[in-house]
Structure 1
Amino acid sequence: MDSSLRSHYPTQEAPHRALQCSDILHEIFQHLYSLRFGEAKHLQYTLAQTARVSKLFSQHALDFLWKEIPSERTALNILPSFKAICEPIRSDQLMETWWPSVAMLEQWTYVRIFHSRSVDISCVLKFVLSQSIGREPTLDELDRLRQYTVRVRKVFLREKDQRNTRSQTIRHILGLLGEPLFPNLVSLVWENFEATCESTVVEILSCIATATLRHLRLNHFSSSPQQDEFERALLAASSILISKSPDIRHVELRGTSWNVSYAAPLISSLKALDVLSLYPPVHPQQAIALLEAGHDMTSLSLNLLSYHPTEAWPSSRICFRNLHRLCVTGDPLVVSRILGTSEWPAVRILKAIIIKANKSSPPQHKMLQCLESIARAFSNSLWQVSLATRFTSDMTLKQILWPLRDLHLLRVIDINLPKVPPCSSNDFRETGFAWPKLEEFHLTGIWTPDFDQGLQAVLELASVCPQLCIVNLPAMRLVPASELNTYNLSSHGLEHVYFHGSLRDKPYNDDFGPDEMWQLAILFESIFPKLQLGESCTPKGKSLQQDWKRLLEDMSSVRRRECNS
């Protein structure tokens, strides 16, 4: 082992604690020295260069490691004959002008570069972690590696392979182990796909692709890609995946500068495809070509922010008969067009991020038109809607909720706004009448004194939604029980209520005495006997408002007293 890295291995006491720890990775991280190489999150990537080949760990501990680190770098370095080398780069050297010597390159199989900024942003610590192959592995070591490779479920190809070292290493190991390298591989994530040439794609995929592969993600972030070469690489990948991994069910295309129509041959040939995610901004004409190729999918994600609303819309009309989940991001006019020009008879889940390309608030009339188009397109099918948008200062919450009344089958409503607009608690009851099957209602955003009627809003929703289980609102204020309209509610099945106030929030009413709090707790306990009282944060980790925590504590006391009586 290289002496420069010996200090980063777990200490002699580590195996004993590791074998008693349910999270072996967490235990290892406790023994990594983080000050020298920057932030801890960067050191997590170096785990494969440390604990994996340490003699300190027993076979039992290595079994945990094999299960918890399903990555390419682990498989390439599980052999003790693979050792880690640290090559520091002076802070005055530019990464673009520095490259190791030919003699060093002949030994390297793999290069990773990390950047860690100190307090002085002009000072950047750079270093390279690389791997070198020593002697040929023994039969025991090969058997150990083979035990690992059959456990691998997910592989990441992340670094740019400028010297074609990765494919050479993979072919070298494949020659030792036999094909396929990862016989039970389920997911393949290929970063920097644009930097890969056609021949490298063929070599690597021929070794890695298996019949068990179900998920493929290609990331393409080049700002000025050589599109012809990229298209050839993508077509080469398509031909191999179609023949060796015909049962891929989920394809993700991420990044920038995509012409997603290049992927049409792959999409059209994957007969088992269920989920297609297009995270790069795409032009509708390219998207239509791809969507027509995969019209039988069950889940679709589209980013249409790069399409200007004034451009002509493609004339193609597609019926997505099997689509159950749709995620769409774009200008409100663009979202309205794609919803209105295609058919979505089976969509159950919709996530819409409605925003202009420059992140500004859409005009009010376009925003309302988009909400109305959502209601028209999914009135007979939608169960769950998630909306994230900006709005002009003159919009009210009622204007946002009102068009959604046509979605009578809704079970989950999730609305994420930068700031909650003006509203009244009665708005929730008026719109809630349209959702008799509603189970969850989430309204998140920065709260202001314009919205502090949370307790009454919960009662308004519960009074018209008998199946309501979860309510998530921005804020509330303590009010005497006598001021609340309970609509004669009793023993409602509501289980979770969250008011995600700021950590710095202060009670609205410092004079709200213990007797008033106790009466309010008795009232809410009688109305919502199934309410969970021990929660301190929302499902997304936000702290609950202090006044709500106080009320929950008193409700807990009421419940204990009733149980003891």
Structure 2
Amino acid sequence: MEPHRALFCCDILDEIFQHLSPEDEADAIKGFALRRAACVSRTFYGFASDVLWRKVHTTGQIRHLLITLGIAEEVGCQYRGVKLVKCQKISDKSLLRFRQYAARVRSITPKIISDEDWLSLCPLSGHGKLMIFPNLQSVKVVFSGSPSMLKLRSLLITPSLRDLSVECASREACESGMRATFNEVCSAVPSLESVTVGILSRPDLLSPILRLSHLSKLDLMVSMNGNRDLLRSLSTRKNITSLFLRFKLEPHHGDFSICGFASLHELGINGTLQNAKTMLAGLESRYIESVTVDVLTAKNRVDDLQDCLEPLRRHHGSLRRLKFSVLARYGSKEDTLINAIAPVMKMKRLREIKLEFPGWKLRCSQQEFRKIAEAWPDVRSLALKYDLLATSPCVPRGSVVDLGSVFYLAQRCRKLEKLQLEFVACPKPISLGEHPRCTLRELHINNIFGIEPCGSDDIMRDLPTGPEDYGGVAGGTLPSIGISEEGTRGDEIKYWRTDCVSSNSGRRNARQWFG
């Protein structure tokens, strides 16, 4: 776009801004005048629209704005492709226009690489304010290479900043620039409410967090051995409501326990089963609503799993959302599903449940599966994933839940909308009269077994799981289920409830859900 046309476009947008109240700015995106004003450049219109929403969704929009206003230009570089350089002559009007738009930005969604060329070319705010976006509230930065530290501080040290996320492309970048910058930001912006640190460095890297008195949300990569004092100090804070900890996979040294986090509403743990057990055992919050645990080590037993889940049942029976994923060594001792999750089945108030046990060889008979329906009568979303006892195409019938039990669960749990299972036995043919309609909106099945002779009456054979193959089995007898071929991988098939009768129409209207 030519500079004079871009400035003309800015003038019209400014006129529109002056006559809009803050409540009407979002609706102005749909206005005819705004579309006419910005139609000369779709990218510029996209930036203007996002500015109305006070968000920037791609850094390319800022880059294009610098070019459009004549502040920067693209030149060819032999080794780096296209590079952005500063224009020799920049009008005061162009600088004013950029500052007007920059002052409206509240959130930058994508991650900003610290050594990106456009960052060093952004004009700073006037009147002695060394800031690029003076009203910025949320930003994500990845430290890489040799950034312009002046412009990086101008981006981050903003009094209005509330949400900060920092990562490092390499440990060298962390040691060289991130430590000093992160320390400076925590000192200059004590009003930070949410902090994410995506790298594990020396223990003193995270110590500046203790200066933030308004901190309510934390997402940290920590070491149980190196960051004990930090975790104990944070556990006494009464304003932390959301905490996600990614632990370094290392053996513990000495006895370590954490008691506190009395105001926590949401907890996430990524590490070993011992890390999870330590955090859950000392959790004192009476307001906890959501717990997410991802165990990445494989040397786990059912007894250890139950010991980890027992504190949740004993002290946090009002939990609403639980996601628990635990690996196990292949060849581990077989057990039943309901025995492994026995503490969870006593938590009657759960609404969203996701239990994944990759590598666990678990059984689940029809009677045991129906006990699950009685355990969580008000559940809205349920996902169960585990491995079978046998790896051959023929499996014991008692270890796979059949379709009848699935619909029994959907009927007993009257609020259930989403169900995801790893293995389901499907009789052939299916009788629709046995499975009346229910509130289920999504049914995800990864492996379907047909109840057919396989050398014995007590085993089942793996059924072909292509959408067309299964559509021939279920399409004419289950009209309330539509078959979608989108997003499938391997044997995974997804089913959505629809008001369609045939499987073909179900594919076309798979997203027309009903309650």
TM-score (norm 1): 0.64
- Deviation digits for residues 416-445 of structure 1 (CA, Å, limit 9, x no counterpart): 343574322332212332212211111246
Q: Is 2:165–2:196's contact at 8 Å kept on the other side of the alignment?
A: yes
SS in 2 for 1:58: coil
1:74 is displaced (CA, Å) by 5.2
Q: Is 1:459–1:485's contact at 8 Å kept on the other side of the alignment?
A: no
- The reply on whether 1:398 has 2:338 as its aligned counterpart is yes
Q: Is 2:259–2:283's contact at 8 Å kept on the other side of the alignment?
A: yes
Aligned residue identity for 2:165 = R
SS in 2 for 1:317: coil
Partner of 1:500: 446
After the TM superposition, which residues 31-110 of structure 1 pair with which residues of structure 2 at under 5 Å, given as runs?
A: 58-59=40-41, 61-66=43-48, 67=50, 69-71=57-59, 73=63, 77-89=67-79
- Deviation digits for residues 443-472 of structure 1 (CA, Å, limit 9, x no counterpart): 246787656534133124235423222211
Partner of 1:438: 379
Separation in 2, partners of 1:181, 1:511: 58
Separation in 1, partners of 2:172, 2:161: 31
Separation in 2, partners of 1:187, 1:469: 34
Report the CA distance shift for 1:140/1:340 in structure 2 as closer, same or farther (over 3 A).
Answer: same
Q: Which has the higher strand share?
A: 2
Partner of 2:187: 239
Partner of 2:318: 381
More displaced stretch, 137-146 vs 72-81: 72-81
- The reply on whether 1:462 has 2:416 as its aligned counterpart is no
Separation in 2, partners of 1:535, 1:324: 38
Aligned residue identity for 2:421 = L
- Deviation digits for residues 469-515 of structure 1 (CA, Å, limit 9, x no counterpart): 221112434315788996xx75532232222349x97159x99997x
1:252 is displaced (CA, Å) by 0.4
Aligned residue identity for 1:138 = S
- The reply on whether 1:256 has 2:200 as its aligned counterpart is yes
Report the CA distance shift for 1:138/1:176 in structure 2 as closer, same or farther (over 3 A).
Answer: farther
Separation in 2, partners of 1:193, 1:218: 11
Partner of 2:281: 340
Partner of 2:139: 188
- Deviation digits for residues 318-374 of structure 1 (CA, Å, limit 9, x no counterpart): 1x2321111101211221122112313211111101232xxx342343233223344
Report the CA distance shift for 1:517/1:314 in structure 2 as closer, same or farther (over 3 A).
Answer: closer
1:406 is displaced (CA, Å) by 2.1
Aligned residue identity for 1:456 = G
1:254 is displaced (CA, Å) by 0.6
- Deviation digits for residues 234-284 of structure 1 (CA, Å, limit 9, x no counterpart): 322211112xxx2x322101113242x54344344241x321101355545
- Deviation digits for residues 61-87 of structure 1 (CA, Å, limit 9, x no counterpart): 512134254536556555324122332
Separation in 1, partners of 2:249, 2:349: 33
For structure 1, list consecutive stretches of 5 or more residues without a partner in the other structure: 2-55, 90-126, 526-530, 561-565
Separation in 1, partners of 2:259, 2:249: 21
Aligned residue identity for 1:479 = P
For structure 2, list consecutive stretches of 5 or more residues without a partner in the other structure: 2-37, 51-55, 449-461, 510-515
Alignment equivalent of 1:327, drawn from 247, 258, 268: 268
SS in 1 for 2:78: strand
SS in 1 for 2:444: strand
SS in 1 for 2:368: helix
Aligned residue identity for 1:64 = G
Separation in 1, partners of 2:366, 2:234: 42
Partner of 1:278: 220
SS in 2 for 1:278: strand
1:544 is displaced (CA, Å) by 8.0
Q: Is 1:157–1:190's contact at 8 Å kept on the other side of the alignment?
A: yes
Separation in 1, partners of 2:224, 2:208: 17
Partner of 1:363: 301
Partner of 2:92: 139
Q: Is 1:80–1:141's contact at 8 Å kept on the other side of the alignment?
A: yes
Aligned residue identity for 1:493 = T
SS in 1 for 2:343: helix
Separation in 1, partners of 2:264, 2:96: 45
Separation in 2, partners of 1:256, 1:512: 48
1:174 is displaced (CA, Å) by 3.8
Identity of aligned residues (%): 19
